[in-house]
């Protein structure tokens, strides 16, 4: 192995430092690609384009990840060969049967996953959405964990490796301000802790629907719009317990979840933001301009992570289209695109 002479030592040091810097920059560039933001594809509309048109639109916009809330043959068929990573949901109403029967779970996996593999790139299977023992979906809570276990067993038996998780909302948090005090509510901890243990054992993240919009809407007197839209020019919340500073509400909510996971024996469990966004009409400060500001800033911020967890944060914007069969009015206007595939405002996923 060649070595540097004494007269060359300064030169060698400079070369080594330069190579180290270039390597760091390369790794940073590779790391940012891991933050490529996906988009949720909701189907609650009677005027939406065909699934093939939707997949083509994803590809033309360089959207490389999709969340689909329930399997449809049309959508799965359109995704074959697209190279789009898919987060596929198991609907809440299917959980009881899947949780009670390995056979039903295996049939679901064979029909909706195995039949489309490897043509469809399945990244996650989402067993239930926003289920909690204390909300209006409480009747499904007892089925979530056994359904996750049965789905994972069926996937592994098929020779596939796909992460299995569930998607929660931030209503599971009791404390969340400042973020270091984040913890799950006493009346949900017996529900969420075994799920966290399952995720930890299987190397899967917790999927979380994170909506600064709703926090802002409920607290307009105390939350500044700039803090919700990522436009604050300085730290708004200085957490005295962690020493971390927060310039935006999104990071504060995500970190509250991180701290809550730590306290529930989930130190090694990551977070994927499975929904976030801002509506363009029907609510408080719901303008096209605010939605454009939120979502474009979001795409940039998740490349670097949060004060508590640095590094790319996988995130999915809600949603691809306005959905005219949802209610109330505010729920109809979250789309990046109108049903005729026209962008509501400029946004870049490159």
Buried b (16+ CB within 10 A) or exposed e, 296-318: eebbebbbbbbbbeeebbbbbbb
3-state SS assignment for residue 66: strand
Q: Is 275 a catalytic residue?
A: yes
Q: Is 130 a catalytic residue?
A: yes
Pairing state of beta strands 183-184 and 173-175?
Answer: antiparallel
3-state SS assignment for residue 303: coil
Q: How many CB atoms lie within 10 A of CB 178?
A: 19
Among the options 85, 130, 323, 331, which is catalytic? 130
Phi then psi for residue 335, to 5 deg, are -70, 145
The label of the residue with tokens 């404390």 reads 175
What Cα–Cα distance (Å) separates residue 285 from each residue in 217, 218, 225, 291, 316?
Answer: 8, 12, 8, 9, 22
User: Which of these, 244, 251, 249, 253, lies nearest to 225 by C-alpha position?
Assistant: 249
H/E segment holding residue 82: none
3-state SS assignment for residue 84: coil
User: What angle, 0 to 180 degrees and rounded to 10, lies between the N-to-C axes of helices 141-157 and 189-202?
Assistant: 10
Among the options 8, 74, 175, 275, which is catalytic? 275
H/E segment holding residue 38: strand 38-41
Q: How many CB atoms lie within 10 A of CB 339?
A: 16
3-state SS assignment for residue 111: helix
Catalytic site positions: 130, 275
């Amino acid at each position: 192995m060649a070595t540097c002479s004494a007269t060359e030592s300064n030169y060698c040091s400079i070369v080594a430092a330069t190579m180290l810097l270039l390597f760091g920059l390369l790794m940073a560039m590779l790391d940012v690609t891991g933050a490529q933001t996906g988009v949720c594809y909701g189907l609650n509309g009677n005027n939406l384009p065909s699934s093939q048109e939707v997949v083509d639109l994803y590809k033309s916009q360089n959207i490389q990840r999709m969340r689909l809330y329930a399997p449809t043959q049309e959508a799965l068929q359109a995704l074959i060969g697209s190279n789009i990573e898919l987060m596929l949901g198991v609907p809440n109403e299917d959980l009881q049967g899947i949780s009670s029967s390995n056979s039903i779970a295996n049939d679901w996996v064979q029909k909706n996953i195995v039949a489309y593999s490897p043509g469809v790139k399945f990244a996650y299977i989402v067993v239930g959405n926003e289920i909690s023992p204390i909300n209006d979906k409480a009747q499904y809570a007892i089925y979530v964990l056994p359904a996750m276990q049965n789905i994972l067993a069926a996937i592994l038996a098929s020779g596939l490796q796909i992460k299995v998780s569930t998607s929660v909302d931030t209503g599971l948090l009791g404390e969340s301000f400042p973020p270091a005090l984040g913890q799950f509510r006493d009346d949900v901890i017996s529900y969420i802790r075994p799920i966290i243990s399952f995720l930890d054992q299987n190397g899967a993240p917790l999927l979380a629907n994170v909506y600064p919009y709703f926090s802002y809407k409920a607290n307009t007197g105390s939350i500044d719009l700039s803090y919700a839209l990522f436009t604050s020019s300085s730290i708004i919340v200085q957490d005295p317990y962690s020493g971390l500073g927060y310039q935006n509400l999104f990071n504060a909510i995500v970190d509250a979840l991180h701290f809550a996971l730590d306290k529930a024996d989930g130190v090694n469990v990551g977070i994927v933001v499975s929904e976030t966004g801002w509506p363009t009409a029907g609510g408080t400060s719901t303008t096209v301009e605010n939605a454009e500001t939120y979502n474009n800033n979001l795409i940039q911020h998740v490349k670097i992570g949060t004060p508590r967890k640095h590094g790319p944060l996988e995130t999915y914007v809600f949603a691809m289209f306005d959905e005219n069969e949802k209610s109330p009015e505010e729920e109809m206007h979250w789309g990046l695109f109108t049903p005729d595939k026209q962008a509501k405002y400029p946004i870049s996923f490159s």
